[in-house]
Amino acid sequence: MAVAPITRDLDLPPSQGVWVLNAYALSFAAFLLVAGRLADMFKVRILFILGLTGLGSLCLVTSFIENKYGFFVLRGISGLFGALIIPSA
């Protein structure tokens, strides 16, 4: 539902509109195994708090960005922090 307004606001062609979702999903999936290993090595609570605060702050920053490349980079980094939440939940 949000892909159409985001692509319109960032002036993205339809071929790049799929990267609005894929930037997060790709980095989330790529970092999920590493996050699981980090959860085994360190305290689970620390990783959960780090992932939650990182994801929340990056989502807030991403909502104000107007550059399409910065948007994709921040969505990718958000996926990394999102992956930290899953093994510790």
Q: Where do the domains of the chain lie?
A: 3-88
Are 36 and 87 spatial neighbours (Cβ–Cβ below 8 Å)?
A: yes
Which pLDDT tens digit goes with each residue over 44-83? Answer: 899 999 999 999 999 999 889 888 889 889 999 999 999 9
**DSSP-based three-state secondary structure for 30:** helix
Which pLDDT tens digit goes with each residue over 23-34? Answer: 899 999 999 999
